[in-house]
Amino acid sequence: ADSLPIVITTWYFGLNPTNTAWDELQTPGKLPLDAVQKGCEWCEDNFCSSGVGYGYKPDESGESTLDALVMDGKTHDVGAVGGLRRVQNAIGVARAVMKHTSHTLIVGDAATEFAKSMGFEVMPNASLSNTSDNTYWTWRQNDCQPNFRKNVKPAGKCGPYYPADQPSDFNRRTSFNKRDTREDASKIWDVPGSPSDHDTICVIAIGANKDAAVGVTTNGLRFKVPGRVGDSPIPGAGGYVDNEVGGAAATGNGDIMMRFLPSYHAVELMRHGVSPERAGQDAIRRILKHYPDFNGAMIVVNNKGEYGAACSPGYKTFPYFVRTGDMTNATRVDIN
Ligand code: SD4
């Protein structure tokens, strides 16, 4: 395939995000940046896969925190948030970081304060969907095994290192109007047989004039250590674009991926003439050399509109969506 403009997104839930980003890209005066933001927002609003975004996978303390990034391939501007709490529209906050500050990345509670100052709605409580809330309490009461700590010795089932005390304002089953929406969404996404455990969407858009942008928004990992930030908001890791070349974005085990900057890697290979697919494959292969069990995937597109994807063997298949001018709807592609 070879044409501009183009929109490409990760995972099996990318149909609506791709079409939404596409429509935005077709709107006079709208930028690829607007398009990727809209695409990511669709998932934040609809809880794609029941996993992207707010209120889904809790950390060890029972709260969900979000990471998001936007990057502009023309100016090289980046805006990102890490460990954002209690704000649903993480990609919007990332865009506000880009637009209203000279910084790149704002994290943690201060990111929530920043969001508030920018007019974003901040929820009063840590909140999880009922499903996530149940998962959390089941885990905490029955199992309590830390997923992501190592070289620590638990003294008991819930060793002294763990779990962190609940935040004082964490209320189990706080009734909370967004939760109901969230539950409805889970019903849509949690259909039997659907791979429901992917919690990140990456959107790359390139306009007819080669202007490129990438957006990434995620909930990160279940039972992560509080404060953990993944690859998604790190430029070059979760996503990277350069108008002179194209763009790439990554999803999967971010703790590993961010050690290799796979999106930067793929873009730089394309700069030297490598095809999108091979650039993605090489970036994934580099990681596998060090971490053979690693799981991750990439979408890659150059500024001619040629695109491809790559994934680790552990993902038996990796679906993504793409839309170009000769398509009347976003099209799903599955690689393996
Ligand atoms: C992370 N890369 O926080 C994300 C997770 C992910 O589908 O991509 N999930 O590590």
pLDDT digits (tens, 9 = 90+) for 66-98: 999 999 999 999 999 999 998 989 999 999 999
Whether residue 200 lies in the annotated active site: yes
Average pLDDT over residues 255-281: 98
Q: What is the ipTM of this complex?
A: 0.98
Tens of pLDDT, residues 313-327? 988 889 999 999 999
Q: What secondary structure does DSSP assign to 155-174, as a single string?
A: SSTT-TT-SPPPPTT--TT-
| Cβ atoms of residues 286 and 275 within 8 Å | no
Q: Of the given ranges (22-31, 182-191, 295-304), which has the lowest mean pLDDT?
A: 182-191
pLDDT value, residue 330 = 95
* Residue 178 CB burial class (10 angstroms; 0-12, 13-18, ≥19): middle
pLDDT at 132 over 50: yes
Q: Is the CB of 232 under 6 A from ligand 1?
A: yes
Q: Is the CB of 252 under 6 A from ligand 1?
A: yes
Encoding tokens for residue 24?
A: 């935005």
Look-up of token digits 């209120």: 55
Q: How far is CA 306 from CA 13, 68, 299, 324, in A?
A: 22, 26, 11, 10
| Cβ atoms of residues 262 and 287 within 8 Å | yes
**Can you tell me whether residue 27 is helix, strand or coil?**
coil
62 pLDDT band, cuts 50/70/90, is: confident
pLDDT value, residue 193 = 40
* DSSP category for residue 141: I
Average pLDDT over residues 152-179: 43
Average of per-residue pLDDT values in the chain: 85
Tens of pLDDT, residues 173-201? 333 334 444 444 444 444 444 444 678 99
pLDDT value, residue 126 = 62
Ligand 1 centroid to Cα of residue 186, in Å, is 19
Q: Which residue has the higher pLDDT, 171 or 213?
A: 213
Report d(CA 4, CA 209) in Å as an integer. Answer: 8
Tell me the one-letter amino acid at 188. I
What share of the chain in percent tops pLDDT 90?
62
Look-up of token digits 């080669």: 210
Q: Is the CB of 59 under 6 A from ligand 1?
A: no
12 pLDDT band, cuts 50/70/90, is: confident
pLDDT at 105 over 50: yes
pLDDT at 156 over 60: no
46 pLDDT band, cuts 50/70/90, is: confident
Q: Which residue has the higher pLDDT, 17 or 183?
A: 17
Q: Which residue has the higher pLDDT, 170 or 305?
A: 305
Encoding tokens for residue 272?
A: 């030297």
Atom of ligand 1 nearest to the CA of 224: 3
pLDDT value, residue 219 = 87
Report d(CA 110, CA 89) in Å as an integer. Answer: 15
25 pLDDT band, cuts 50/70/90, is: very high
Atom of ligand 1 nearest to the CA of 220: 3
Ligand 1 centroid to Cα of residue 41, in Å, is 17
pLDDT value, residue 154 = 53
pLDDT value, residue 142 = 63
Ligand 1 centroid to Cα of residue 86, in Å, is 19
Q: Of the given ranges (173-187, 227-241, 298-312), which has the lowest mean pLDDT?
A: 173-187
Q: Which of the following is catalytic: 200, 217, 218, 324?
A: 200
pLDDT at 64 over 70: yes
Q: How far is CA 257 from CA 43, 234, 282, 287, in A?
A: 22, 10, 13, 7
